[in-house]
Amino acid sequence: MNKKLGIFLIVLFLLLCIILIVKLEEGREQQPAPTQLIHTSSPYSTSTETPIPTMEPTSSPTPTQEATPEPRLPEGFVYVKDVIPYVHLDIRYYTENNFIGSRIDGYKAPVAILTVEAAEALKKACEIFYEKGYIVTIYDAYRPQKAVEHFVRWAEDESDTRMKHIYYPNLNKSYLIGNFISPKSGHSRGSTVDLSLLDLEGNEVDMGGYFDLFDSLSYYENSKITDAQRENRKLLREVMVECGFVPSNGEWWHFRLDNEPYTDTYFDFDVE
């Protein structure tokens, strides 16, 4: 009798052990996987939308007909990224981070468009900058005429001063028309680009002022900027001029292709 009781107790103990092991395994399976850490940064950072590009080729699957939409550009125009994959885009007029504070008419995608000639000239400049340790970041390129008209309407509305403290802190809005904003823009001819430089880690190069600041600080020659800032502006200008662009004395970031193909045509197709 005692022998049978001992066997029974041993079997019962083994069963309890098996049940305990099964429960532990089920508990492990039900535990959620560790959450992936997602890093975020300021929405106005130059590197939040896309990673800092490099000139090294990357592999990608062969595009299919469904994945490649039909081009919407007029003949003679190209997407800058198709010509210069390693350029960085920070298209401000597609966002609210601009002097108006809202997306601008005609900007339906954060892409940069230029004439073929301007894109090829810019590619040469980008190669030179890269050799020197910099990447070009583009704020604006081709600009539809409807966007220019949006600028003018906004400038004529003196009640809207949402972005004054950032983009024109020292000026009355009425001063902008004719001085910083005009009814026609060389950007609409397709061979003008607004740009600056980043280092290879994605940090903005200090130019002593920022894009679309309506102030004398944006003039290429300014006594208020430091020697280092002056040298950075000089580097930007010298390389762009070497590659066939004409600089602006009033906006250090603004460059027009010298031999632009459309000298009298102001286009109005959307940026998309």
pLDDT in tens, 23-41: 655 554 443 333 332 222 2
CATH code, 214: 3.30.1380.10
Structural domain boundaries enclosing 163: 77-257
CA 186 – CA 141 distance, rounded (Å): 10
Q: E strands along the chain, which residues?
A: 77-79, 88-89, 113-115, 134-140, 192-199, 245-247, 254-257
Write down the pTM of the prediction: 0.77
Q: Is residue 12 part of a domain?
A: no
Most confident of 2-6, 55-59, 226-230: 226-230
Tens digits of residue pLDDT in 80-92: 999 999 999 999 9
Distance CA 98, CA 107 (A): 13
What average pLDDT does the segment 43-59 reach? 47
Q: What angle do CA 95, 100, 146 make, to 5 degrees?
A: 80
**Separation of alpha carbons 236 and 205, rounded Å:** 10
Please report whether residue 199 resides in a domain. yes
**Interatomic CA distance for residues 132 and 199, integer angstroms:** 9
State yes or no: pLDDT of 193 exceeds 90: yes
Average pLDDT over residues 124-128: 98
Residue 17's pLDDT band (cuts 50, 70, 90): low
Computed over every residue of the chain, the mean pLDDT equals 85
Give dist(CA 213, CA 50) in Å, integer.
24
Lowest mean pLDDT among 56-60, 168-172, 176-180: 56-60
Question: If pLDDT is split at 50, 70 and 90, which confidence band does 194 have?
Answer: very high
Of all helices (H) and strands (E), which one includes residue 124?
A: helix 116-131
On whether residue 264 sits in a domain, the answer given is no
Q: Comparing 39-48, 158-167, 177-186, which segment has the lowest mean pLDDT?
A: 39-48
Alpha carbon distance 164, 148 (integer Å): 19
Whether 251 is catalytic is yes
Confidence at residue 10, expressed as pLDDT on a 0 to 100 scale: 73
Decide if 10 is inside a domain. Answer: no
Instruction: Return the DSSP state at 48.
Output: S
Q: Which of the listed ranges 32-46, 67-81, 248-262 does the model predict with the highest average pLDDT?
A: 248-262
The residue among 184, 163, 164, 181 whose CA lies nearest residue 172 is: 164
Report if residue 11 sits inside a domain. no
Rounded CA separation 52/198 (Å): 9
Tell me, yes or no, whether 110 lies in a domain.
yes
Domain count, the chain: 1
* Helix and strand numbers, DSSP H then E, in the chain: 6, 7
pLDDT higher than 60, residue 107: yes
Within a domain: 42: no
Cα–Cα distance for residue pair 267/111, rounded to 1 Å: 16
Indicate whether 124 belongs to any domain: yes
pLDDT of residue 72: 79
Measure the CA–CA gap between 137 and 107, rounded to whole angstroms: 18
Strands 245-247 and 134-140 turn out to be unpaired
Q: Which of 26, 149, 231, 251 is catalytic?
A: 251
Q: Write down the residue that tokens 């004719």 correspond to.
A: 178
